[in-house]
Amino acid sequence: MDDSSDFDITHIIEVGDIVTERNYIVSPDRTPWVGIVVYIEKDHYTLHSYLAETEDLIGVHWFQAAYVENLPASVIELLQKAD
């Protein structure tokens, strides 16, 4: 599998979108959370990778946990666009 697809999300995620966690960051004792994107900091992370030079920081308000978490864009998945 080509891991570069993980970084493609930085171009499609926008404030107001509904997202979920990727399975590989979720502990085995729970299901992935669902939340809404509340802010984006473009190019927040500098990567040392062949996949990309930078990655966005995404602020997600998780509905289940009722708090905002800052995450790299590559660890969330788009469920529904805000349009």
pLDDT tens digits, 20-54: 999 999 999 999 999 999 999 887 777 766 666 87
State the burial class of residue 11 (Cβ atoms within 10 Å of its Cβ: 0-12, 13-18, 19+): exposed
Cβ-based neighbours of 41, under 8 Å, separated by 6 or more: 56, 57, 59
Q: Residue 3: which pLDDT band, with cuts at 50, 70 and 90?
A: very low
Q: Which residue has the higher pLDDT, 26 or 2?
A: 26
- Beta bridge partners, 58, equal 40, 71
Q: Which domains are seen in the chain, by residue range? A: 3-80 (2.30.30.140)
3-state secondary structure (DSSP) of residue 25: helix
What does the alpha-carbon distance between residue 42 and residue 4 come to, in Å, rounded to a whole number?
18
